């Protein structure tokens, strides 16, 4: 190993150690009811690893996504550690640390393909990009949120895939690309990124020609297209995506443009980071945030195209960023968020590469004083990012901390108020939860989830008539909402309407058999359980008491 490579390895190991240290507090976080518990519920079923369970994982989506490799990883984690949150969080931390090392290797190999940089410049860029990728506050959501294992796992295979591509290992590239797609569909744009890298810094188009470069990637584009269609179908099947009636094509483009600019801004000024950015308000070009975003996207894209020969680094970095961020930009709107920090985990890399590329050329032109100022600025920047990241990890400690952070920035978000109500209710703090639930219902009276949440809180506060009314409204809005139907049975039982309670419970169990075991000991169903005329039918429905 020559001196240059040895220095690069040492630098990479140091940055990986820094990343592990900065994120270590995440190992003490709890599981969240926001996706974490749903992942674990499925994983506890899958941990047997029977052929039937593995086949089910490989052939069916879960949580509005098709990511069988991620599902298998969760199942293995539950097989090893059960419901202890610390090891699950440590897995995320280790994956991020590994990804940091992969970023170091990718940047070193990528810039090594260019003759425009000497050894010291390559090492400086690799160190800057790797450290920024490792500790930037935008990365916290992907590392500290257990459910985001899919993003980390997909990024691992994506980075390994890009390294294999730059090194010319075509079979390994295809295999790693397939594994990335099976972890999460965000890997779909990788073939487009490969084409951009072919232009700069690999300069392969001069030797091979664009026709051959595109032709060799047709199988990869086909794999990505299939994965993308499956992902969209999985989300649509669970009603996780908004229809064109809910959000028009023009509105989606505006949301995407705002998100593209929003993420770049957060790269340079990562403050007011929220676990949830609600998609609310008027979406129109008349609104400044959308019109300015569209103008900036057009201007930067136009500048990159106009100067593509003079500034190839800008061209490649900008369009690689656009390619990677497009699947989660809002063009296919899934969920109620306008943006999410986790969507920048991998798209952050081309932006950092572009900044690193620009700083090399600026360094060459700077006076000694200018170089000193740049070094001081970078030291201050990294210190600020590290401290901000440490603070942001605490936001993901538990549900109350998470939704409290969201409400600090978006106090009028109905979804955030509803989730805070549930976080407090789970701790037995129903009286504190009531105002949050009331606000959510007042904001959107017909939302079945808001009504169900308030109904549960009223049930725990022994306000049974109010609870019954909320559950009935929820079921009129969404007759397939099983949890509301089960809770309706509980409210009816509390009110002494045991016959009606049995009918509602039978309907809930027919739709989801897991409610049978829950009903066996539920105190809210005590009146139904003690009814001598219905007790036998209840036992037939739920099974004998364990």
Q: What is the pLDDT of residues 358-409, one digit of tens each?
A: 888 888 889 899 899 999 999 999 999 999 999 999 999 999 999 999 999 9
**Do both 365 and 406 map to the same domain?**
no
Distance of CA 166 to the CA centre of its chain: 27
Residue 533, both tokens: 């005329």
The pLDDT value given to residue 510 = 86
Residue 114 has pLDDT above 80, yes or no: no
Mean pLDDT, to the nearest integer, of 11-15? 93
Give me the percent of the chain exceeding a pLDDT of 90.
55
Query: What CATH number is given to the structural domain containing 525?
Result: 1.25.40.10
The pLDDT value given to residue 49 = 66
Whose tokens are 């490969």? That residue is: 194
**Do both 153 and 286 map to the same domain?**
yes
Q: How confident is the model at residue 345 (pLDDT cuts 50, 70, 90)?
A: very high
The tally of domains found in the chain comes to 2
Contact call for residues 259 and 353 (beta carbons, < 8 A): no
The pLDDT value given to residue 243 = 59
With CA atoms as reference, report the closest residue to 456 among 425, 428, 481. Answer: 425
Whose tokens are 């140091």? That residue is: 14
The pLDDT value given to residue 242 = 62
Q: Among 25-39, 97-111, 429-443, which stretch is predicted with the lowest mean pLDDT?
A: 25-39
Residue 529 has pLDDT above 80, yes or no: yes
**Do both 284 and 268 map to the same domain?**
yes
**Do both 379 and 420 map to the same domain?**
no
Backbone angles phi, psi at 470, to 5 degrees: -65, -45
At which of 395, 426, 443 does a domain end? 395
Cα separation of 92 and 27, whole Å? 9
The overall average pLDDT reported for the chain is: 88
The pLDDT value given to residue 1 = 59
Cα separation of 153 and 196, whole Å? 23
Domain that holds residue 420: 401-542
Mapped onto helix, strand or coil, the DSSP state of residue 521 is: coil
**Do both 34 and 96 map to the same domain?**
yes
Q: What is the pLDDT of residues 451-491, one digit of tens each?
A: 999 999 999 999 999 999 999 999 998 888 889 999 999 99
Q: How confident is the model at residue 51 (pLDDT cuts 50, 70, 90)?
A: confident
**Do both 537 and 476 map to the same domain?**
yes
Q: How confident is the model at residue 415 (pLDDT cuts 50, 70, 90)?
A: very high
**Do both 308 and 437 map to the same domain?**
no
Cα separation of 155 and 103, whole Å? 10
Task: Tell me the CA distances in angstroms from 390 to 115, 186, 347, 395, one per residue in order.
Answer: 38, 26, 22, 10
At which of 337, 366, 395 does a domain end? 395
**Do both 249 and 365 map to the same domain?**
yes
> Is the N-terminal amide bond of 201 cis, ω within 30° of 0?
yes
Q: How confident is the model at residue 61 (pLDDT cuts 50, 70, 90)?
A: low
The pLDDT value given to residue 122 = 87
The pLDDT value given to residue 111 = 82
Cα separation of 270 and 141, whole Å? 13
**Do both 424 and 386 map to the same domain?**
no
Task: Tell me the CA distances in angstroms from 65 to 58, 230, 329, one per residue in order.
Answer: 12, 9, 17
With CA atoms as reference, report the closest residue to 474 among 463, 487, 465. Answer: 487
At which of 355, 371, 395 does a domain end? 395
Q: How confident is the model at residue 47 (pLDDT cuts 50, 70, 90)?
A: low
Residue 15 has pLDDT above 80, yes or no: yes
Residue 316, both tokens: 């490649």
Q: How confident is the model at residue 33 (pLDDT cuts 50, 70, 90)?
A: confident
pTM of the model: 0.91
Mean pLDDT, to the nearest integer, of 11-22? 94
**Do both 184 and 305 map to the same domain?**
yes
Q: Residue 519: count other Cβ atoms within 10 Å of its Cβ.
A: 23
The pLDDT value given to residue 240 = 55
Q: What is the pLDDT of residues 311-335, one digit of tens each?
A: 888 999 999 999 999 988 877 766 6
Give me the percent of the chain exceeding a pLDDT of 70.
93
With CA atoms as reference, report the closest residue to 440 among 331, 297, 280. Answer: 280
**Do both 437 and 419 map to the same domain?**
yes
Cα separation of 284 and 252, whole Å? 10
Q: What is the pLDDT of residues 149-188, one digit of tens each?
A: 999 999 999 999 999 999 989 999 999 999 999 999 899 9
Residue 36, both tokens: 């974490």
**Do both 459 and 320 map to the same domain?**
no
Q: What is the pLDDT of residues 231-289, one digit of tens each?
A: 777 766 555 566 555 677 888 888 899 999 999 999 999 999 999 998 877 788 888 88
């Amino acid at each position: 190993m020559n001196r240059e490579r040895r220095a690069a390895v040492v630098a990479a190991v140091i940055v990986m150690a820094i990343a592990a240290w900065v994120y270590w507090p995440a190992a003490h976080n709890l599981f969240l009811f926001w996706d974490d518990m749903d992942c674990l519920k499925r994983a506890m079923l899958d941990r047997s690893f029977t052929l039937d369970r593995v086949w089910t994982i490989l052939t069916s989506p879960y949580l509005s996504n098709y990511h069988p490799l991620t599902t298998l990883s969760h199942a293995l984690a539950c097989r090893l550690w059960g419901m202890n949150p610390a090891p699950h969080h440590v897995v995320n931390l280790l994956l991020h640390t590994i990804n940091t090392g992969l970023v170091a290797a990718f940047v070193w190999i990528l810039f090594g393909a260019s003759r425009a940089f000497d050894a010291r410049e390559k090492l400086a860029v690799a160190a800057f990009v790797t450290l920024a990728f490792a500790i930037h506050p935008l990365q916290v959501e992907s590392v500290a949120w257990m459910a985001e294992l899919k993003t980390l796992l997909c990024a691992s295979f994506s980075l390994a895939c890009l390294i294999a591509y730059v090194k010319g290992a075509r079979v390994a590239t295809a295999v790693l690309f397939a594994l990335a797609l099976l972890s999460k569909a965000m890997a779909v744009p990788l073939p487009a990124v490969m084409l951009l890298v072919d232009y700069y810094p690999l300069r392969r188009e001069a030797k091979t020609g664009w026709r051959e470069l595109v032709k060799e990637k047709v199988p990869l584009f086909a794999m990505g297209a299939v994965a993308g269609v499956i992902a969209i179908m999985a989300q649509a099947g669970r009603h996780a995506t908004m229809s064109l009636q809910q959000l028009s094509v023009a509105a989606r483009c505006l949301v995407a443009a705002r998100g593209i600019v929003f993420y770049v801004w957060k790269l340079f000024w990562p403050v007011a980071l929220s676990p949830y950015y609600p998609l609310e308000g008027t979406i129109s070009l008349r609104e400044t945030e959308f019109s300015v975003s569209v103008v900036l996207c057009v201007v930067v894209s136009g500048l990159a195209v106009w100067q593509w020969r003079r500034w190839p680094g800008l061209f490649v970095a900008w369009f690689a960023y656009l390619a990677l961020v497009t699947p989660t930009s809002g063009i296919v709107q899934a969920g109620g968020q306008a943006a999410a920090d986790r969507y920048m985990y991998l798209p952050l890399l081309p932006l950092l590469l572009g900044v690193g590329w620009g700083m090399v050329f600026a360094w060459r032109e700077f006076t000694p004083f200018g170089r000193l100022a740049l070094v001081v600025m970078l030291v201050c920047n990294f210190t600020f990012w590290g401290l901000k990241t440490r603070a942001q990890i605490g936001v993901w400690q538990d549900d109350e901390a998470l939704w409290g952070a969201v409400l600090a920035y978006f106090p009028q978000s109905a979804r955030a108020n509803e989730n805070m109500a549930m976080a407090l209710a789970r701790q037995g703090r129903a009286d504190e939860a009531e105002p949050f639930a009331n606000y959510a219902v007042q904001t959107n009276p017909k939302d079945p989830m808001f009504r169900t949440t308030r109904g549960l809180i009223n049930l725990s506060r022994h306000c049974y008539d109010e609870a019954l009314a909320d559950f009935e409204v929820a079921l009129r809005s969404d007759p397939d909402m099983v949890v509301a139907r089960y809770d309706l049975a509980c409210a009816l039982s509390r009110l002494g309407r045991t016959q009606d309670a049995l009918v509602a419970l039978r309907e809930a169990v027919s739709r989801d058999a897991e409610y049978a075991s829950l009903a066996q000991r539920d105190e809210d169903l005590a009146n139904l359980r003690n009814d001598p005329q219905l007790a036998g039918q209840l036992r037939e429905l739920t099974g004998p008491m364990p």
